[in-house]
């Protein structure tokens, strides 16, 4: 029986994952590094910031000598992109609000806690959450299950009593490695991800309904 629901943030509740991909791509292109969209997605999507940096540093060791040197160009490109896009994923936010009326709900993200705090306030869901976890709270990052296992411990629940909403291959793999049910969000305009390990894939989380026992509704039979 599912007793709590865990939401990823970027790409699940807010459409910033694609912005991060493009911001990293542009920041490295500023230094003359050729980064294709496909390569940027592979290095950024669903991963914690420090792990993304290590992937880029291994590929382009001379571009940014340390994470601090990347902060300004990355933030500049991200902020510019954010001004042009509506980032709220309304179906996912509506689901979180609906579930929070009857179950504990938490956000489990690879972002820094400061960024998560700002995001959940902007999305209007801060008062709906039992807590949130950021990259400072656990290691290693997704696809390791550490983040979701920590969330279960914070809730005082067995991992099998938690259901995760994710949008990335790394996130789905982390949830399943933790022993949790996982519903994947595959939006039509998102970069391709292998979500085959998820228990169910939806193109809009507004269509999710808990079963009467508190779990996930069964997959369609057609």
Start-to-end CA distance of the chain, whole Å, equals: 25
Can you give the pLDDT at residue 50?
84
Can you give the pLDDT at residue 158?
98
Can you give the pLDDT at residue 212?
59
CA–CA dist 128, 106 (Å, integer):
8
Can you give the pLDDT at residue 219?
44
CA–CA dist 122, 181 (Å, integer):
28
pLDDT tens-digit readout, 180-215: 999 999 998 777 889 999 999 999 999 898 875 555
Burial (CB count within 10 angstroms: exposed 0-12, middle 13-18, buried 19+), residue 115: middle
Residues of each domain in the chain carrying CATH 1.10.150: 17-82
- For residue 106, the SS3 value is strand
pLDDT tens-digit readout, 1-57: 999 999 999 999 998 878 889 999 999 999 999 999 899 988 988 777 888 999 999
Residues of each domain in the chain carrying CATH 3.40.50.1000: 4-15+87-207
Between 209 and 221, the more confident residue is: 209
CA–CA dist 26, 212 (Å, integer):
47
CATH topology for 17-82 is DNA polymerase; domain 1 (1.10.150)
Residues forming a β-bridge with 216: 210
CB 4 within 8 A of CB 105: yes
- pTM of the model as a whole: 0.78
Residues 6+ apart with CB under 8 A from 102: none
Can you give the pLDDT at residue 220?
39
String of DSSP letters for 122-181: HHT-GGG-SEEE-GGG-SS-TTSTHHHHHHHHHHT--GGGEEEEE-SHHHHHHHHHTT-E
List the CATH code of the domain at 4-15+87-207. Answer: 3.40.50.1000
Please say if the pLDDT value at position 179 is more than 90.
Answer: yes
CA–CA dist 96, 92 (Å, integer):
6
pLDDT tens-digit readout, 54-84: 999 999 998 999 999 999 999 999 889 988 8
Residues forming a β-bridge with 108: 133
Can you give the pLDDT at residue 196?
96
Question: What beta strand segments (E) does the chain contain?
Answer: 4-7, 105-108, 131-133, 162-166, 181-185, 200-202
Please say if the pLDDT value at position 98 is more than 70.
Answer: yes
Model confidence at 177, pLDDT cuts 50, 70, 90, reads: very high
**Average pLDDT over every residue of 95-105:** 97
The count of residues in the chain is 222
């Amino acid at each position: 029986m599912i007793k709590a629901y865990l939401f990823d943030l970027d790409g699940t509740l807010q459409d910033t994952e694609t912005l991060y991909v493009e911001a990293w791509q542009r920041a490295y292109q500023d230094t003359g590094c050729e980064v294709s969209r496909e390569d940027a997605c592979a290095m950024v999507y669903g991963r914690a910031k420090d792990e993304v940096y290590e992937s880029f540093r291994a590929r382009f060791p001379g571009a940014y000598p340390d994470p601090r040197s990347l902060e300004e160009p990355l933030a500049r490109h991200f902020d510019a992109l954010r001004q042009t896009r509506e980032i709220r994923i309304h179906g996912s936010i509506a689901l979180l609000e609906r579930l929070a009326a009857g179950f504990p709900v938490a956000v489990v993200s690879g972002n820094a806690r400061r960024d998560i705090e700002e995001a959940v306030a902007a999305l209007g869901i801060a008062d709906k959450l039992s807590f949130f976890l950021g990259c400072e709270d656990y290691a290693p990052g997704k696809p390791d299950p550490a983040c979701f296992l920590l969330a279960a411990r914070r809730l005082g629940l067995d991992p099998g009593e938690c259901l995760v909403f994710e949008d990335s291959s790394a996130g789905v793999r982390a949830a399943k490695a933790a022993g949790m049910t996982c519903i994947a969000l595959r939006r039509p305009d998102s970069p391709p991800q292998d979500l085959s390990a998820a228990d169910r894939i939806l193109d809009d989380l507004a269509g999710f309904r808990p079963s009467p026992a508190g779990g996930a509704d069964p997959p369609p039979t057609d």
